[in-house]
Amino acid sequence: MRTPSHEETPGELTRTEPKDWAAGVPAVRKALEYSLSETTPRRTALTLLTMNQVTGIDCPGCAWPDPAPGKRHVNEYCENGAKHINDEATSKRVTREFFAQHSVSDLAQRSDQWLNDQGRLTEPMLKRAGSDHYEPVAWREAIGLLADELRSLDSPDEATFYTSGRVSNEAAFLLQLFARAYGTNNLPDCSNMCHESSGAALHETLGTGKGTVTLLDLQHADLVLLVGQNPGSNHPRQLSALEETKLNGGRIVAINPLPEAGLKRFKNPQKPRGVVGRGVDIADRFLQVRIGGDLALFRALNRLLLEAEDAAPGTVLDRDFIDTSTSGFEAFSDHVRSTDWDQVLTDTGLTRAEIEGLRDEVLASDRVVVCWAMGLTQHRHAVPTIREIVNFLMLRGNLGKPGSGACPVRGHSNVQGDRTMGIWEKMPDGFLDAIQQEFGFDPPRHHGVDAVKAIHAMHDGDVKVFLGMAGNFVSAAPDTAYTEEAMRRCRLTAHVSTKLNRSHVVTGEAALILPTLGRTEVDVQDGGPQFVTVENSMSVVHQSRGKLEPSSRLLLSEVAILCRLARATLGPDTTVPWDTFEADYGAIRDRISRIVPGFGDFNARVAEPGGFALPNPVNEGFFLTETGTAQFSVNTGEAPHAPPGHLVLQTLRSHDQWNTIPYTDDDRYRGIHGSRRIVMVNADDLTELGLAEGDLVDVVSVWGDGVERRAPGFRLVPYPTPRGCAAAYYPETNVLVPLDHVDETSGQPASKSITVRFERV
């Protein structure tokens, strides 16, 4: 089972007051400090000054969009974007000597933070079956070995291909093309653990899995609801957009169990008033909802809106929109009218007056945007919750009109683009037909596995070869012990990566590390210098062009690795021109333009400054649902309530990490320093549980399968979270998330609502 890491120690915790504002001068200082500690001033200048500029490097951080070309600042980035880009641009290197010195079992004792800190990977490495060391291997041999394993499988479905959302459109398109030419739809991705629930809910109700809002819509909304997201840490430039919303007279309501700093006040470091002034207040109202209480909240809000219409007919609902563009209103309205107030107050932890206050904000606003992220998607009732938000938007016609709409805020910089390119285990037939027509092979039609199903399949021996295209699957996935065992049961695990992480050291019998160019680096192929493209959270597709010398002469681009792997696996009969693709990424984009809707004339349009926006059918009045209309839905599901002596735990990000990779042990805005092995708990719950600040406990999760899941050695921190609710960092607590604790429709792990108890150590 899992190798316990000797780094599972709580560290020296110190506390300061949680901050009530985000960004400002400290953010700029922290960004520069981190950048200069990783690399030289010259490389820092090259990355930071070209970041998010029209001919520059797209920030490898989150998917927040850039302003229009003429409206960008010289420094168009945030503290965390600067940290992410310089984490890649680091001058530190992992060499063959490093691997000679450290056995795989030694490295498996180290944390992801330590592994990441060793620097950039520099050459392909192979761990042979039976060996405890990685050794250098030539590219040809490494790729040949992976191809041989793939060819030796009884069925293509015995392999699985994982993608993380940093992968470019070009590489993602090639990965799915290769997997399908090889014969499988086993294409799990980080999205399965991220916004899968948003995609599922929006597809069902609106006929598109994407958000409907542009940056201008957000800035011109009368009201923005920020539900279940922490923009101050995870999408910091969203605060610049929200500052505009406020300056335009819009109002903001934050709905979150935690009073996050960025929801309160923002000091824009790009503006004089943000440097010397008190900044701009972000949320006009804060609803401190219980974990998982959002479904009850929106149901209650919708009931209040229906009642307001009853009291003043013709003034509240957008009858025209409801009658002409939607179906299912009657069933929805009957259901919502029966919402039980006592249950709502128990589930949300809010007062009726607070919810009525929200109703009044809504009634005073013609144009409403709802933004959300992991606080909504990582729940057992994530899909019903997001569907209920769509109901809410439809009631007042807040879809398809300027200044309004649904805004799922994406995580990884190209997670949305990867899906557009076909990274999905169940792409619709239309897409597969287009592949067949263009390339002349028959892509498999039966669905593949998502992330959770892939783990089961590896555990059961049904999947034997795992290839990860970026990411850190072992640490990102739920149920760490089970997932690690699943990986260890594979014959071969291989990863295309920039930096070392836990997935390289919890391996199958044999393992490969295939080091690749990052987005910051110059990419020259036979056809000359190349750029790649990405799609941001608001469906704008644009270029990203590397600027730095590659970290090592032995790195290949993701595209090159995939083309060589495809040639080696599929042999000479392949109908796909892999050589041409490797030499010239424009040739890949030509094919994408013929296969993926919205990408016509791709090369020409992406050459325009700032790129182009993909059409959104909802904003053009089309709903690609079965009925051709937007769909009201009836949503049920019990909010999570822990039994006596237990709490509901959410697992979330600190300010100073990128997903599975912590940069330091500090969480500046929450005033937690020196340790990540902490649990934030309401002070009254601590007292009731007979525990005190600073107590050391094991966190044990409760799930009906008889397996004990334990995260050892956490310190308790009193924190203003609602009663019954706790919070701790991911990935340290992923060990607590039961693999089958998922939303029923999306299959997404419910890592924000785990029932736990504490055992004092």
The DSSP code sequence of 542-561 is: EEE---BPPS-TT-B-HHHH
**Which secondary-structure segment (H or E) carries 716?**
strand 709-718
The dihedral through the CA atoms of 217, 218, 220, 226 has a sign that is positive
Q: Extract the tokens encoding 643.
A: 């039994």
Q: Considering only residues 678 through 737, tell me which ones interact with ligand MGD, judged by CB under 6 A.
A: 730, 734, 737
- Considering only residues 277 to 316 of the shown chain, the ones binding ligand MGD according to CB under 6 A are 289, 291-292, 294
Q: Could you say whether residue 417 binds ligand SF4 (CB under 6 A)?
A: no
By beta-carbon proximity to ligand MGD, the closer residue of 493 and 516 is 516
Count CB-CB contacts under 10 A for residue 331.
12
Smallest separation (angstroms) from ligand SF4 to the CB of 174: 24
Q: Pick from ligand SF4, Mo ion, ligand MGD, none: which does 726 bind, CB < 5 to 8 A by kind?
A: none
* Binds ligand MGD (CB under 6 A): choice among 52, 86, 212, 230: 230
Nearer residue to ligand MGD within complex by CB, 255 or 742: 255
Q: Is the dihedral of CA 88, 91, 92, 95 positive or negative?
A: positive
Per partner kind, with CB cut-offs from 5 to 8 A, the member of ligand SF4, ligand MGD, Mo ion, none near residue 292 is ligand MGD
CB 48 within 8 A of CB 536: no
Burial of 54 (0-12, 13-18, 19+ CB in 10 A): middle
Nearer to Mo ion among residue 158 and residue 535 (C-beta): 535
Using CB distances below 5 to 8 A depending on partner kind, what does residue 78 bind out of ligand MGD, Mo ion, ligand SF4, none? Answer: ligand SF4
Contact of residue 476 among ligand SF4, ligand MGD, Mo ion, none (CB under 5-8 Å per partner type): ligand MGD
Structure-token pair, residue 223: 């009201």
Contacts with 158 (C-beta within 8 Å, 6 or more apart), sequence order = 462, 463, 464, 465
The residue among 169 and 348 lying less far from ligand SF4, judged by its C-beta, is 169
- Where does this chain touch ligand MGD (CB under 6 A) — which range of 99-107, 139-147, 645-653, 679-687? 645-653
61 lies in the binding site for ligand SF4 (CB under 6 A) = yes
Shortest distance in whole angstroms from residue 565 CB to ligand MGD = 13
- Does 19 bind ligand MGD (CB under 6 A)? Our answer is no
In the list 256, 391, 404, 619, the residue contacting ligand MGD (rule: CB under 6 A) is 256
Binding mask 558-597 for ligand MGD (x = CB under 6 A): x---------------------------------------
Determine the longest span between alpha carbons in the chain, in angstroms. Answer: 76
Instruction: Transcribe 220-242 into DSSP letters.
Output: T-SEEEEES--HHHHSHHHHHHH
Tell me which of 10, 18, 67, 81 binds ligand SF4, using CB under 6 A: 81
The candidate with the shortest Cα–Cα distance to 719, out of 661, 645, 647, 657, is 647
Which of 576, 365, 558, 373 has the alpha carbon at shortest distance from 469?
558
Single out the segment in contact with ligand SF4 by CB under 6 A; choices: 174-182, 232-240, 333-341, 380-388: 232-240
**Identified binder of ligand SF4 from the candidate list 21, 77, 321, 473, rule CB under 6 A:** 77
Among positions 24, 411, 443, 738, the unique one binding Mo ion when judged by CB under 5 A = 411
Distance CA 90, CA 77 (A): 18
Separation of alpha carbons 494 and 150, rounded Å: 12
Q: With CB under 6 A as the rule, give the number of residues binding ligand MGD.
A: 60
Counting contacts by CB under 5 A, is residue 661 touching Mo ion? no
By CB under 6 A, residue 637 contacts ligand SF4:
no
Q: Is 62 in the site for ligand SF4 (CB under 6 A)?
A: yes
- Give the other-Cβ count within 10 Å of 583's Cβ: 18
Residues in CB range of 389: below 8 A, 6 or more apart: 227, 298, 370, 372, 376, 406
Nearer Cβ to ligand SF4, position 80 or 721? 80
For residue 298, give the nearest of 223, 355, 218, 226 by alpha carbon: 355
Per the CB < 8 A criterion, the answer to whether 535 and 416 are in contact is yes
- For strand 672-673 and strand 523-525, is the pairing parallel, antiparallel, or unpaired? unpaired
236 binds ligand SF4 (CB under 6 A): yes
Mark the segment that binds Mo ion (CB under 5 A) among 109-117, 193-201, 291-299, 574-582. 193-201
Whole-angstrom distance, CA of residue 590 vs CA of residue 176: 16
**What residues line the site for ligand MGD (CB under 6 A)?**
61-62, 80, 116, 164, 166, 190, 193-194, 227-230, 233-235, 255-258, 260, 289, 291-292, 294, 373-375, 378, 411-412, 469-473, 476, 496-499, 501, 516, 518-519, 558, 650-653, 657-661, 730, 734, 737, 751-752
**What residues line the site for ligand SF4 (CB under 6 A)?**
59, 61-62, 64, 77-78, 80-81, 235-237
